[in-house]
Homo-oligomer: A and B are copies of this chain.
């Protein structure tokens, strides 16, 4: 049997590979628009990993590829980690999230139906909650009123997966990610700030007034939680879990200061005036982890520890490339 990872050359998926490759044949599908083969280099000699460059929003081709994979090795699990990761670009141009974040889900589900693959694991997002105005976002919160097209198309994907679980999937497990940090970073506030500061070592411009506060989970904890829930045994056939650290998060100003201290000590930080960095940004977000913690899982790192580790890791990553 085999595991298919959609968007498998991207940041989070690459961190799943070590686990999956221990016992499984793994097929990585990725259009390399944001992922990179560089991230797969360490597995170049591993016969259990097969990379296929593929556009997942193409319905016919996706059905074809899944059929070919299933003929080689029956598909036991599909992990859908492909999405647009540039939320702001998706606000300007809704067709980006329509195609990359949502139509990918549609095409993957139809391809799974064709070959009879029945277990689907999905990278959803806290962005589906929109602006909860400080109220804790729990899995039982509603209404779900996302404020970005990214959040809207993650919510749309959840809906399709839920319906598919009624009709042909055995498992539709949806993980609502917080902000996730670590390497190989491709985007995100730490990545952006480090890049900016490398270009101009004396000053750092920060979007927003620095008071925006968010939870950050290290990718190692995220991967741990996803696999823990997959194997937990007491999830529903369709189920949804918030995943995150157990704290109130970290302010953007703290991240900016950590980046400055690591990359260019003494650089001046220039903040904006708004409590939102951009349309679709939420100034303060509180994430309920009660459902996840009730399963017995715990994160190893706090938001602050995750940010500090990721600043180190991304500084090294950006020095290498």
**A contacts, CB < 8 Å to B:** 91, 94, 98, 102, 106, 109-110, 128, 130, 138-149, 151-153, 155-156, 158-160, 162-163, 166-167, 238, 240, 279-280
Chain B min CB distance to A157 (Å): 8
B106 engages A98 (CB within 8 Å): yes
CA distance A151 to B158 in the complex (A): 11
A143 engages B146 (CB within 8 Å): no
CA distance A305 to B141 in the complex (A): 34
Stoichiometry, as copies per complex, reads 2
With A166-B280, A167-B91, A279-B166 already in contact, the answer to whether A159 and B146 are too (CB < 8 A) is: yes
A159 engages B151 (CB within 8 Å): yes
Interface of A is mostly: helix
Name 30 A/B residue pairs within 8 A (Cβ), A-sorted.
Answer: A94-B106, A94-B160, A128-B159, A130-B166, A139-B142, A139-B143, A141-B142, A142-B143, A142-B144, A143-B158, A144-B144, A144-B158, A144-B159, A144-B162, A145-B158, A145-B162, A146-B163, A147-B163, A147-B166, A148-B163, A148-B166, A149-B160, A149-B163, A151-B163, A152-B156, A152-B159, A153-B156, A155-B155, A155-B156, A156-B159
Name the residue of chain B whose CB is nearest to the CB of A174. Answer: B143
A155 engages B159 (CB within 8 Å): yes
CA distance A240 to B145 in the complex (A): 9
Residues of chain B lying within 8 A (CB to CB) of residue A128: 159
Residues of chain B lying within 8 A (CB to CB) of residue A146: 159, 162-163
Residues of chain B lying within 8 A (CB to CB) of residue A98: 106
Residues of chain B lying within 8 A (CB to CB) of residue A140: 141-143
Name the residue of chain B whose CB is nearest to the CB of A142. Answer: B142
CA distance A94 to B121 in the complex (A): 19
Chain B min CB distance to A26 (Å): 27
